[in-house]
Amino acid sequence: MAKFLAKLKKKIIVATIVLAQVVAMATSMTAYAASSKSGFRVEGTKLYDANGKEFVMRGINHAHAWYKGNEETAISAIAKTGANTVRIAVGDGEQWGYDDINTLKNLISLCEKNKLVAVVEVHDATGSDDISKLNNAVSYWVKMKDALIGKEDTVILNIANEWFGTWDGKKWAEGYKQAIPKLRNAGIKNTIMIDCAGWGQYPKSIHNYGKEVFNADSEKNTMFSIHMYEYAGGDADTIKNNIDGVLNQGLALSIGEFGIKHTNGDVDEKTIMSYCQEKSVGYIGWSWYGNGDEWKYLDIANDWSGNSFSEWGNVLLNYKDGIKNTSKICSVYSGSSDNGNTTDIEDEAIATVYEKVKYKGKKVDLKVGTYTLSEMKKLGIKNDWVSAVKVKSGYKITLYEDDNFKGNKLVKKSNNSDLNKHNFDNITSSIKVEKINSSNTTTTATSITVEAEEGILHGVYSNNKISGYSGSGYVDDMETDGDYVEVTIDAPKGGNYNLDIRYASPYDKKIETLYVNGSKIKDVEFPKTSTFKSVSVGTIDLKAGKNTIRIQKNWGWTLMDSFTVTSK
């Protein structure tokens, strides 16, 4: 009996310990869940919103500090661009006036009304090495804490814009290591963002000392920011090294400012956007409007209302990795459970994709809708898997080489048993199935019009952000050698045809190269025009049946809308 009681006692003790561990684990998980639901959280290199969804900033800066009174117009217009974030400069009274708590609350309210995440920053400490300037910014935020507490799910606190202008990471870190605890001790739990040293352009300060700064945050909820102008963002290698140097430390990053060029040199803005998209890093362009004559090239819009956009604005918004093509509204506003990726599906199967040519192997039916790689995998379609397609009359299936409807694409409006004939076998990573708009292709007895966006797109992409196009959009981003759009014309008979190309060239006169059936015909001049117009190319010779017409990048960046051939 004594042995039995001893064994029983031992089992009870073990069970009690196990139960205690389970309860402790459950308590810890509950506490974490409550914490993750309370607002934005940094976990490793990622930023997660209050619903636990990854959030990647795609935003625009607004210089409220020196343009007070334009906030309602500007913030509303910024939201209409598709941005998910606005970074707002405010003043703590040192240089740019004093934005009181009611002003700050109104700015946050405007952002929330327009479904924008607000990144708020004090601009008065810009470029200063003076610790008192940083402490003034901290004191300002402590006074404003009632505007921040309770807004952890919509507001990120960028303590001070570009504090510490000198390229000295150690002293920069010392300043922030004493600043962050003051904010936490005041009860401010919002995610904190820290600009790197050197006017925001010395990322080595984060590479070398970022971990120390992060560890000074009792909430472990701090991310970092690089301002990529001529020094931090001048070329592709510099950009990638600067971004990787932060991520390799296990730290979260956003590009808090960047532009098309800056005082002492060019900026490789497209690599910034593309590499940020590749690495799931946020970016925020500088700035909406009001940069004055000296830095007018940094204006994104041409007025506060955003009625038109500058060269920089068009790149930031409309580039393939720009805001309009990559921004996802924060799930606290959208209610999304899958980061915004939804599939709009009709009731019946419209298209079928096949694993092997000649309609063999595994097949998957698709309804009308959009399918990212993750959606494809849910249906059993592996990456780089599709070899043949069928599609019902009146519909089209568009295959994309990259996920999220990017990269080269192939549009099919009829069955195709072997995609290898189009060099598109086993490379599909996202798919769209759509009903054909009857206006997309028009045929008469004497003329045939084919929309550019329905062709083969190499290095370019379909856009619809500039109004006035025909069909469903136009072809954008023809700027790299080898970029082209190629359409197929099914001529009823062989002979001479007049070719007209509808296009826009908003920045200057451009020249591109015309190919017909693989042969170079001529260089075509496209006069400057901000609206879509037609240019007469002249006479081309077509054979009866299918012919290819290609416009390939020469000078670059002409927007292609449609091709029309008319028999002579």
CA separation for the pair 231, 233 (Å, rounded): 6
CA separation for the pair 189, 183 (Å, rounded): 8
Q: Are 501 and 535 in contact (CB under 8 A)?
A: yes
Closest CA to 346 of 236, 258, 434, 263: 434
Residue 90 backbone zone (phi > 0: left; psi -120 to 50: alpha; other: beta):
beta
| 341: DSSP letter | -
SS3 239: helix
| 556: DSSP letter | -
- Partner residues linked to 53 by β-bridges: none
Q: Are 539 and 480 in contact (CB under 8 A)?
A: no
Q: Are 457 and 552 in contact (CB under 8 A)?
A: no
Other C-beta atoms closer than 10 Å to the C-beta of 24 total: 10
- Partner residues linked to 121 by β-bridges: 89, 158
CA separation for the pair 426, 419 (Å, rounded): 8
CA separation for the pair 196, 312 (Å, rounded): 24
The kind and range of the H/E element at 273 are helix 269-279
Query: Which residue among the candidates 162, 375, 454, 512 is catalytic per the annotation?
Result: 162
- Runs of H (alpha helix) within 144-203: 145-148, 169-185
Whether 162 sits among the annotated catalytic residues: the reply is yes
Phi, psi of 206 (to 5 degrees): -80, -45
Residues 6+ apart with CB under 8 A from 270: 315, 319, 321
Whether 257 sits among the annotated catalytic residues: the reply is yes
Query: Which residue among the candidates 71, 257, 355, 453 is catalytic per the annotation?
Result: 257
Phi, psi of 364 (to 5 degrees): -135, 125
- Runs of H (alpha helix) within 162-310: 169-185, 204-215, 236-247, 269-279
Give the residue numbers annotated as catalytic, written as ranges.
Answer: 162, 257
